[in-house]
């Protein structure tokens, strides 16, 4: 959660400092060129993300989730800190701008391994019956991080003023990423490897030692993963695209929309989104828990259908122009995001077997975010400019969620079930005893899908076995 908070903290800080950092790195250019350069630099992180997702996903399936997540966080935190230390145009000339682009590319590369690995890691640690609840905290951290970053920039702008912000104040939010990163790295270095991956690794080593095939547990490269799971990767990409279209419309585009199209100044355009993001973030674990109770698919359908129903009223309310109507319109957009993102973190890892989960997630999530999430502000702005219709954002969100609603029909229900390629995960010894006692009639447990060896014969369950299962 702290890692995701830091990732989105940087997104919030950089996004809201674009107009401030332009004169620092390109003082001789006009304002439009400065903004285009910073927006392009921000977009460059989305170009690097898929490459990082492919590389770190493959590495995470090979050497382990914990090691790779520690690695991605160290790179990500260091890159954010370096941005705050970069010299400006007055010290290095155009090379200062070039260094900023390189730093953001490195950061985007590391970010490609972050969310896919974090969702994989938490899903593999969580008990089957509470996976939706625990995994949802990752996205709670994401939106809180964005709100914290945007809020900090707004406070600094109020206290310091624009001249001081351009002179040195813009560095402060990036420098604060250092302590936050150290806390997150400490957690990452201390936590154990996920039990599901460790079991798969042990099975692979045992199969190699006995000259057996390994029953398909050996990690594949990216090409092999695409060939084996292309249909599920496509399924995941469509769901990620729909959820992130709504999510990025709320976070990355809405402040610009309020400023450019609705007459708010830059500060109020930012401040109006912050309380909505905070309330939404606090509600995300509730919808994660709801998916454990009624299933992932019903909750994702609520997200898709509510996007279709609420998008047009939301933008009509924002168009009224009052603060109350703008906040209500933003809340209507935030509502479906709460149901979408809380469940992707638990539903998507369950599409892939343990041995290839990190790699497949790295491909599916990052390519979808790069193609659809990062481009959402640009597409929406282009649609408005081309048509002159300020309701085009609503129609775009509706279109993506209609496709998503159809796609959910093909999503396997994974709530309260073991992850593919993994043994059941429970939270206590009592739950382990109940699972063993009811294994034959338990509708959530398919014994044919559990990763037993071909020669496996169920042993008598001792107290030590049951304690190990609960651990």
pLDDT tens-digit series, residues 200-235: 777 766 655 554 444 445 567 899 999 999 999 999
CA–CA distances in Å: residue 374 to residues 218, 248, 271, 335, 369: 33, 7, 22, 21, 6
CA atoms of 385 and 400, how far apart (whole Å): 20
Whether the CA torsion 352, 358, 363, 364 is positive or negative: it is: positive
DSSP per-residue string spanning 433-468: HHHHHTTTT-TT--GGGS---TT--PPP--HHHHHH
pLDDT by residue (tens digit) across 24-59? 999 988 877 887 788 788 878 888 999 999 999 999
Most confident of the ranges 188-202, 209-223, 256-270, 405-419: 405-419
DSSP per-residue string spanning 362-383: HHHHHHHIIIIITTHHHHHHHH
The mean pLDDT of the chain is 87
Which alpha helices (H) appear in 112-164, and where do they start and end?
114-125, 131-160, 162-164
Percent of the chain with pLDDT over 90: 52
Residue 256 has pLDDT above 80, yes or no: no
CA 459 to chain centre: 41
CA–CA distances in Å: residue 3 to residues 150, 152, 184, 370: 17, 18, 6, 20
Question: Which of 101-115, 174-188, 254-268 bottoms out in mean pLDDT, i.e. has the lowest?
Answer: 254-268
pLDDT score at 211: 47
CA atoms of 233 and 101, how far apart (whole Å): 30
Residue 343 has pLDDT above 80, yes or no: yes
**Structure tokens that stand for 119 in this block:** 């969702």
CA atoms of 345 and 287, how far apart (whole Å): 12
Going by C-beta distance under 8 Å and a sequence separation of 6 or more, which residues neighbour residue 69?
3, 60, 113, 114, 117, 118, 121, 188
85: number of Cβ within 10 Å: 11
pLDDT score at 215: 45
453: number of Cβ within 10 Å: 12
Which alpha helices (H) appear in 321-442, and where do they start and end?
323-347, 357-368, 376-387, 392-407, 429-437
pLDDT band at 269 (very low <50, low <70, confident <90, very high): confident
CA atoms of 400 and 398, how far apart (whole Å): 6
For 459, half-sphere exposure in the C-beta direction (CA atoms, 13 angstrom radius) is: 7
* Residue range 239-267: mean pLDDT, rounded: 84
Cβ distance 185 to 70 under 8 Å? yes
pLDDT band at 456 (very low <50, low <70, confident <90, very high): very low
For 148, half-sphere exposure in the C-beta direction (CA atoms, 13 angstrom radius) is: 20
Residue 423 has pLDDT above 80, yes or no: yes
Going by C-beta distance under 8 Å and a sequence separation of 6 or more, which residues neighbour residue 235?
351, 407, 410, 411
pLDDT score at 169: 93
pLDDT score at 365: 95
R_g (Cα) of the chain, nearest Å = 23
pLDDT score at 463: 57
pLDDT score at 360: 95
CA 296 to chain centre: 17
CA–CA distances in Å: residue 163 to residues 16, 156, 173, 347: 16, 12, 16, 47
pLDDT score at 179: 85
Domains and CATH numbers, the chain: 2-193+218-410 (1.20.1250.20), 426-445+461-471 (no CATH)
pLDDT score at 220: 76
pLDDT band at 197 (very low <50, low <70, confident <90, very high): confident
CA atoms of 111 and 123, how far apart (whole Å): 19
Question: Which of 128-137, 216-225, 314-323 bottoms out in mean pLDDT, i.e. has the lowest?
Answer: 216-225
């Amino acid at each position: 959660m702290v890692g995701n908070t830091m990732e989105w903290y940087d997104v919030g800080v950089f996004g809201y400092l674009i107009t401030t950092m332009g004169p620092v790195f390109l003082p001789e250019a006009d304002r439009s060129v400065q903004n285009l350069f910073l927006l392009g630099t921000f977009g460059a992180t989305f170009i690097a993300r898929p490459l990082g997702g492919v590389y770190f996903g493959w590495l995470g399936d090979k050497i382990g989730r914990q090691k790779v997540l520690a690695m991605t966080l160290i790179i990500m935190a260091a890159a954010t800190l370096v941005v705050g230390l970069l010299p400006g145009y007055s010290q290095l000339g155009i090379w200062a701008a070039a260094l900023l682009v390189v730093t953001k590319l490195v950061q985007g590369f590391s970010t490609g391994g972050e969310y896919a690995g974090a969702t994989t890691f938490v899903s593999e640690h969580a008990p089957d019956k509470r996976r939706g609840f625990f995994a949802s905290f990752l996205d709670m951290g994401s939106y809180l991080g964005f709100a914290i970053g945007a809020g900090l920039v707004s406070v600094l702008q109020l206290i310091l003023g624009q001249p001081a912000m351009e002179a040195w104040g813009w560095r402060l939010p990036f420098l604060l990423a250092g302590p936050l990163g150290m806390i997150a790295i400490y957690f990452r270095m201390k936590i154990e490897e996920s039990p599901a991956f460790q079991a798969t690794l042990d099975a692979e080593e045992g199969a190699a030692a006995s000259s057996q095939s390994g029953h398909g547990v050996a990690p594949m490269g990216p090409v092999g993963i695409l060939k084996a799971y292309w249909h599920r990767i496509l399924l995941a990409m469509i769901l990620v695209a729909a959820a992130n279209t709504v999510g990025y419309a709320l976070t990355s585009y809405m402040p610009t929309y309020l400023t450019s199209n609705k007459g708010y100044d830059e500060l109020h355009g930012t401040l109006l989104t912050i309380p909505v993001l905070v309330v939404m973030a606090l509600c995300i674990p509730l919808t994660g828990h709801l998916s454990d109770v009624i299933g992932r698919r019903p909750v994702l359908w609520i997200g898709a259908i509510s996007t279709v129903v609420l998008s047009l009223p939301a933008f009509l309310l924002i168009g009224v122009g009052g603060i109350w109507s703008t906040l209500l319109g933003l809340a209507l957009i935030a509502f479906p995001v709460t149901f979408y993102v809380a469940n992707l973190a638990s539903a998507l890892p369950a599409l892939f077997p343990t041995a290839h989960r990190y790699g497949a997630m790295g491909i599916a999530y990052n390519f979808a975010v790069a193609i659809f999430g990062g481009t959402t502000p640009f597409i929406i702005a282009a649609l408005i400019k081309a048509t002159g219709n300020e309701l085009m954002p609503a129609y775009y969100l509706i279109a993506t969620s209609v496709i998503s609603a159809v796609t959910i029909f093909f999503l396997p229900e994974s709530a309260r079930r073991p992850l593919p390629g993994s043994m059941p995960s429970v939270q206590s010894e009592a739950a382990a005893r109940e699972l063993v006692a009811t294994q034959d009639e338990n509708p959530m447990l398919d014994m044919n899908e559990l990763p037993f060896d071909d020669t496996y014969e169920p042993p008598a369950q001792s107290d030590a076995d049951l304690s190990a299962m609960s651990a």
